[in-house]
Amino acid sequence: MDVAIYYHPEAYTIGGTKLMGRNAAGESFLRGFFAHSTSRELWVQVTKPEHAKQFATTAQDLGRRQPVHAVDKHSLAALKQVGMVYHPGPGIGDHAFHRAAFGHNSWSLCGITHTTSSAGAMDALANLISDPLQTWDALICTSNAVKDNVTRLLQAQANYLEERLGITRLVLPQLPVIPIGIHTKDFEFSADQKAAARAQLGVGEQTLVVLYMGRLSFHAKAHPLAMYQALELACSQTSKELVLIECGWHANEFIKKAYSDAANVACPSVRVISLDGRDAQDRQRAWAAADIFCSLSDNIQETFGITPVEAMAAKLPVVVSDWNGYRDTVRDAVDGFRISTLMPKAGLAGDLAVRHSLEIDSYDMYCGYTCSLIAVDVQAAAQAFTRLIESAELREKMGQAGRQRARELYDWATIIPQYEDLWAQLNQLRTGGPIKQTSLQHPWPARTDPFHTFAGYPTSFLTPDIVLSLVDADVNSTMERARVYRQLAMIDFAKMILPDSSEVDSVILVAASGPKTAEQLVAGISQERRPFVFRALSWLLKIGVLKVVP
């Protein structure tokens, strides 16, 4: 199944100073796509030529030898040849408007959810109802929880439009649930690698290592206090020495100090090691050294959560919150433990939404205020840690179950075929039968033909039956004057929309025999070019080559 990848390097790289989940997911997807896709040809849609070169280089580096077909704004119609475009985010509505100029059924669009709580993401999702998306388009939801989130937002928007405008008909894209994939082999470590990692970190053989992997943000990722308290309780209930590795990055010194202060207060018995999650070697060292993985996410910013799946691939038992995508990936009491969460019922946070919408609160503060009112069961987490700390057999059993699950369900070798099956289904919907659609004169209402939008400005209009004639009866001097004017900077700047010299000469020669209608003047122009030359008759009037005959 051929597909064009909408490519901007930022969406597919993990080399930035601010490593976000969507960056890691994008980089991992691209590796998975090149490794497992059945595409006969490689297509890429870009905004800059250098991005196409980077995409082609990445493809070659990852073993793909097919030539890359690049599409940009100037060649958008070429997407008809491939028929499918994958976008690494939820904002496919704008691209549906771009497609509208070529016909809604010219190609399919497929986006994917990452964070859905930001103002930009929520607006993009709400607009899925009013943007010209079709049933042969799709927005992949990475978890059942996020599909529920998207559905609730769409329903609220539909209710608003029904009340406001009386709408009764909705056309929505497909909302399939497909998880984010990983490369499971990246998380396999030998006994020697494990021993070396622990030695480098100064961790003894009898010490148990709990790992948190991810961005270290108490307000926008996972508040660590529940984890700290649970580890301290587990430490007091067992005789084992515990080490907590926090592998991630802090946005600033204030947040870094906040973590350190909280750990000193809440888990003084636990040694805490901080590693830079943006550094590949530190990440590998952390995974190899760990015995147990923990992620007690409590934030609406999270949608899927890739690190528990990576932990399962690394054969680590996991202790995670019963929250969003973790419900899909982690089987409670099988791969680890899911710890219950609690938040207030709907109707008690309208003020937070209003403050965010009015930009009184930043997005970070909106997420932070919300997560401050979401609780993770500390006692249950402590019990889960205690059971795992006290039983090497349980750690082995759960780790083995998780590894098998990760390999079978979440490796890109399994996920990419699901993408391709979806794309094939969308293609079938788009091409499989007659499509009944109302053909709108202005498919993008906010970007209409300026000669329509500003029709109230001129005295009269260029019409097929308007009669025109040459200003100067001398044909040769008229042609020469047209050529001279054509070279002026104040004319040449618009060369993209002007007729070529042979087309101008053709019009002048027809007009030389006497007044003609505009339709007659362009009758000898090729059918493909005729509308453009007809439009340019007004330019020949503008430069004084033609005049209107009353």
Amino acid at 504: V
pLDDT at position 524 is 95
Token pair recorded at residue 179 = 């998880």
DSSP 335-389: TEEEEPEE-PPTTS-HHHHHHHHTTSS-HHHHHHHHHTT-EE-HHHHHHHHHHHH
What phi and psi values does residue 321 have, to the nearest 5 degrees?
-75, 150
Q: What angle do CA 405, 415, 319 make, to 5 degrees?
A: 35
pLDDT at position 437 is 63
Looking at the predicted structure, is the pLDDT value of residue 448 above 90?
no
pLDDT at position 441 is 74
Quick: pLDDT tens for 83-103: 999 999 999 999 999 999 899
pLDDT at position 178 is 97
Quick: pLDDT tens for 231-242: 999 999 998 899
The mean pLDDT of 436-448, rounded to a whole number, is 72
> What is the chain's mean pLDDT, rounded?
94
CA neighbor of 429 nearest in space, from 94, 105, 132:
105
Looking at the predicted structure, is the pLDDT value of residue 522 above 90?
yes
pLDDT at position 75 is 96
- Judged on CB neighbours under 10 Å (0-12, 13-18, 19+), 161 is middle
pLDDT at position 453 is 85
Percent of the chain at pLDDT > 70 equals 98
CB burial readout 524-547, b (16+ within 10 A) else e: ebeeeeeeebbebbebbbeeebbb
Beta carbons within 8 Å of 28's beta carbon, 6+ residues apart: 180, 181, 182, 183, 306, 412
pLDDT at position 460 is 93
pLDDT at position 435 is 62
Give 111's strand partners.
139
CA dist., res. 51 & res. 460, Å (int): 46
Q: What is the DSSP letter of 2?
A: -
The mean pLDDT of 519-526, rounded to a whole number, is 96
Quick: pLDDT tens for 527-540: 999 999 999 999 99
Neighbours of 330 (CB within 10 A): 29
Neighbours of 345 (CB within 10 A): 6
CB burial readout 84-107, b (16+ within 10 A) else e: bbbbbbbbbbebbbbbbeeebbbb
CA dist., res. 262 & res. 507, Å (int): 81
Quick: pLDDT tens for 367-410: 999 999 999 999 999 999 999 999 999 999 999 999 999 999 99
Q: What is the dihedral of CA 393, 396, 402, 406, to 10 degrees?
A: -170
The mean pLDDT of 220-234, rounded to a whole number, is 96
The mean pLDDT of 291-310, rounded to a whole number, is 95
- Judged on CB neighbours under 10 Å (0-12, 13-18, 19+), 348 is exposed
Tell me if residue 209 falls in helix, strand or coil. Answer: strand
